[in-house]
Structures are given as C-alpha cells and as structure tokens.
Amino acid sequence: MIINAARGGIVNEDDLLKTTTPIIYCTDVYQNEPHINPAIVDFSFICTPHIAGHSQEAKITAVTWISDKLHLHCGLPQASPIQFSPTQHTHFTQYETWEKNILKLYSPLNETLSLKEATNKELAFLTQRKAHQNRHDFSAHAGVELNQQIRQIMGI
C-alpha cells in the first residue's frame, strides 16, 4: 500500500502504472496538478482533490505566517492573532468506532467515485477542490465531546 499525501512528484506515477506488483494506491496529490493523469485516477483505490491546504484553519495559518514575516521584515510590532471560531460542529458519539466518527467529518468515497467517473478529470479535480473552501481541520472539532482515543487520533 502507498498513501501519497505529500507532494505530487514524490511518487513517480509513470513507474507506478507499470508495476506488476499488486498494490493499493491512495493519493491526494498528483504530478502536474491540475492536469492530472486519468490513468493514475483509474489506478488509485482512493483519490481526492489535494485539499490539505484548503481548510479555513490552514488558510489562517498561512496568512498569519506571512503577516508575521512581513511585520518582522518591516520592523513593525507583531499583529494580533486572528480570532477564529468554527461555526459548525459534528456530533460524535462514544458508541461508534473512531473510524466512523472521523468519516462523519470527511469521507473520501464520494470524491473518489466522482473523480473516477468524470470525463474531464482536470475540471472535476478543480471543482472538487473548490468545494472545500469552508472545510475545517479535525482540530476545529476539539470543542465537541470526544473520547480520548478519538482525540489522540485527530491530534487534539
């Protein structure tokens, strides 16, 4: 099994497609995004639209980092932190497995099927990615009641 959630060029997709070894390939990143190779989508068990940096928390982190660097470079006092509070919470239950609770936040199945069925993979990739503009990181759900095992897995 290979899970590629890092950078598109880390896995050589051409070589992967030539392998004769049975392999389960899951990916969120592709070479030459958004011009993704339809063959790698077909080959993948799970394929999603590279959404790691598309959560509201990731965007705030990026803006804060740039702001801090600019303030430092210009000799200005550091700006006040951005105050952010998610407006939605997902209801978790201690009676379900952590896997089922996590899948309530995000299940890659629908996007995988949609990407695999799309005639225009590039358009499907871009459309799916754009749909994640208001998504939250797992850490945004820290205020809800979660058992300790789920908190550890989610990093909160």
* 71: phi then psi, degrees, rounded to nearest 5: -60, -45
Token pair, residue 131, equals 């749909």
Q: Are 156 and 139 in contact (CB under 8 A)?
A: yes
Q: What is the pLDDT of residue 55?
A: 75
Per-residue pLDDT band at 88 (split at 50, 70, 90): low
pLDDT reported for residue 19: 94
Banded model confidence at residue 125, pLDDT cuts 50, 70, 90 = very high
Chain mean pLDDT for the chain = 82
pLDDT at 104: 75
Q: Is pLDDT at 23 greater than 70 in this prediction?
A: yes
Q: Which of the pair, 99 or 142, is modelled with greater confidence?
A: 99
Secondary structure element (H or E) that encloses residue 67, with its range: helix 56-73
CA-angle at 63, arms to 62 and 67, nearest 5°: 120
Q: Does pTM top 0.85 for this prediction?
A: no
* pLDDT interval class at 16 (50, 70, 90): very high
Section 81-109 average pLDDT: 71
d(CA 104, CA 40): 27
pLDDT value of residue 127: 93
CA dihedral sign of residues 73, 66, 139, 2: negative
Q: SS3 for 69-116, per residue?
A: HHHHHCCCCCCCCCCCCCCCCCCCCCCCCHHHHHHHHCCCHHHHHHHH
Catalytic residue numbers? 7, 33, 50
